[in-house]
Amino acid sequence: MMAEGFQFEVCANSVESAIEAQKGGACRVELCAGIPEGGTTPSFGEIAIARKLLAIRLHVIIRPRGGDFLYSPVEQEIMLEDIRNARRAGADGVVFGCLTAEGEVDLPLMKKLMEAAQGMSVTFHRAFDMCRDASQALEDIIALGCDRILTSGGMRTAEEGIPRLKVLQEQAAERITIMPGCGIRAANIAKIAQGTGCREFHFSARSPIESRMIFRNPSVSMGGTVHIDEYTQERTDAAKVAETIRLLEG
């Protein structure tokens, strides 16, 4: 059961994670690929199957690559097409953010993306944390008509960002939702809620899942020189989701 007055969004790195998020009591998932890069756009198939299997709201990140949030003309076209595809697949919302080279909100590009996303919920993601002036960026994003901002308060984690998150929440003055995210878990969600006054929270609640492979070749890495444990998957855990929600209820 959702805590009274709060909403919980789970960052899901797969359809399986999205299903676990729903089981645990999340009201919404943000579906992403490329979690080690901070989240990239999932495939059309992933979105479509998630929509088929979920009863809760489905938001999709629109981010063509990892790295910064300054996008080339080709990448901009990709983002527009990905928004159209998310709509076709039945997503309820999209999640994106674009900056200029000077660290300001890219208003012309954002307006194009907002037009493409018309009728869908829009979250400005953690590109916000890379802005030069958070206060001005907040006003720009409100003027664009976005529904919420996902932010760690410009710090490494939302817990470290509590002071800035509180300031942003006060400045927002219910004109837009400030949604803390990054490093939120059962042990600190109540502290973050109390310290910021925020009512929506974004977390992943993942646990490692051991591969079922019997034969393994330790000499080969699919990432080449970048080593990733290919025999362990990180998946959202319904029990962790439920526990995080329960501890905020208390």
pLDDT in tens, 122-162: 999 999 999 999 999 999 999 999 999 999 999 999 999 99
Reported confidence tier of residue 2, pLDDT bands at 50, 70, 90: very low
Q: Contact at 8 Å (CB) between 111 and 144?
A: yes
Angle between helices 238-249 and 15-24 (to 10 degrees): 40
| pLDDT for 44 | 98
| pLDDT for 230 | 85
* pLDDT tens figures, 87-131: 999 999 999 999 999 999 999 999 999 999 999 999 999 999 999
* φ, ψ (nearest 5 deg) of residue 19: -65, -40
Tell me which amino acid residue 86 is.
Answer: A
Distances in whole angstroms, Cα of residue 114 to Cα of each of 31, 54, 111, 179, 184? 19, 25, 5, 19, 28
- b/e code 133-170 from CB counts within 10 Å (16+ = b): ebeebbebbbebebebbbbbbbbebbbebbebbbbbbe
Q: Please give the Cα distance from 221 to 219 (Å, whole number).
A: 7
Reduced 3-state DSSP string for 104-141: CECHHHHHHHHHHCCCCEEEECHHHHHCCCHHHHHHHH
| pLDDT for 4 | 58
| pLDDT for 226 | 65
| Paired tokens of 105 | 């909100």
N- to C-terminal Cα separation, the chain: 13
Q: Quick one: which H or E segment has residue 226?
A: none
| pLDDT for 73 | 98
Average pLDDT of the residues of the chain: 95
Nearest to 92 by CA among 83, 101, 81, 103: 83
| pLDDT for 3 | 46
Nearest to 194 by CA among 219, 226, 158, 148: 158
Tell me which amino acid residue 221 is.
Answer: S
Mean pLDDT of 189-211: 97
Q: Contact at 8 Å (CB) between 9 and 236?
A: no
* pLDDT tens figures, 30-80: 999 998 888 999 999 999 999 999 999 999 999 999 999 999 999 999 999
Beta bridge pairs of residue 59: 30, 93
| Paired tokens of 104 | 């300001």
Give Cα 53 distance to the centre of its chain: 20
Q: Please give the Cα distance from 245 to 193 (Å, whole number).
A: 12
* pLDDT tens figures, 215-244: 998 888 787 666 778 888 899 999 999 999
Q: What is the pTM of this model?
A: 0.94
| pLDDT for 132 | 97
